[in-house]
Amino acid sequence: MTYSSWKKRPPRKFRGKPQWTLDEVYISPFTARRRYDEEGVMHYDEVERRLHPTGVEVMDHYLRRLTEGKDEVKSFCKIYGLRTEDMDALIFILTGMSGPDFRMAYQLRLADDLLRYTDLPLAEVAHRSGLGSHTNFCVVIRRERKQTPTERRMPNTLDEISICIRHCE
């Protein structure tokens, strides 16, 4: 096959019902959640982390790597002897999303959690979420969320504001 005979394929539309949504397969980066009781005393409750949310070894391993901020599909596929197209097809079959769309959605969710629930510098959030450099991270967040990372970090609801106030006192 010559380069000139390659044609861009039209976007696929999944006709079945996806087995999992992003929320169902998302692995939280946190092991504990901070909670305040009525007296304002801080407690930490353990968060149940499902490290095998799908039961499909390859997909679960891939999800754990995304949670660690490692999004290099080629290097991951080499572990299992797969092609990137194979991994993208597996993601499409299980979630109904294309591989790149799923990766971006997962990384944005991870970045939102790290922005919202940690005081990590933006460069560290960018690195841990797998969204690249600080500059690239800011561009992606602004494009996808229509806010700057600093605005995303600010609490939006009264509950979140009261938790922040209690935390700062």
As given in the structure block, the two tokens for residue 155 are 């609490």
Q: What is the pTM of this model?
A: 0.80
Percent helix, strand, coil in the chain, to 5, is: 55, 5, 40
Structure tokens at 154: 């600010």
Residue 167's contacts (CB-CB under 8 Å, 6 or more residues apart) are 34, 42
∠24-29-33 over CA atoms, to 5°? 95
Sequence length of the chain is 169
For residue 49, the model assigns a pLDDT of 85
Q: Which residues pair with 34 in a beta bridge?
A: 44
Q: Collect all residues with Cβ–Cβ distance below 8 Å to 1 and sequence separation of at least 6.
A: none
Residues of the chain with pLDDT under 70: 1-11, 155-169
Tokens, residue 44? 């930490």
Residue 60 is predicted with a pLDDT of 96
In CATH, the number for domain 18-168 is 1.10.10.60
> HSE (CB half, 13 Å, CA atoms) of 160?
8
Q: Would you state the pLDDT for residue 75?
A: 93
Question: What per-residue confidence (pLDDT) applies to 8?
Answer: 63
DSSP code, position 97: S
Cβ burial, residue 118 (10 Å; 0-12/13-18/19+): middle
pLDDT for the residue 7: 56
Positions of E strands within the chain:
32-36, 42-46
Nearest to 29 by CA among 93, 96, 120, 102: 120
pLDDT on residue 1:
42
pLDDT of residue 155: 66
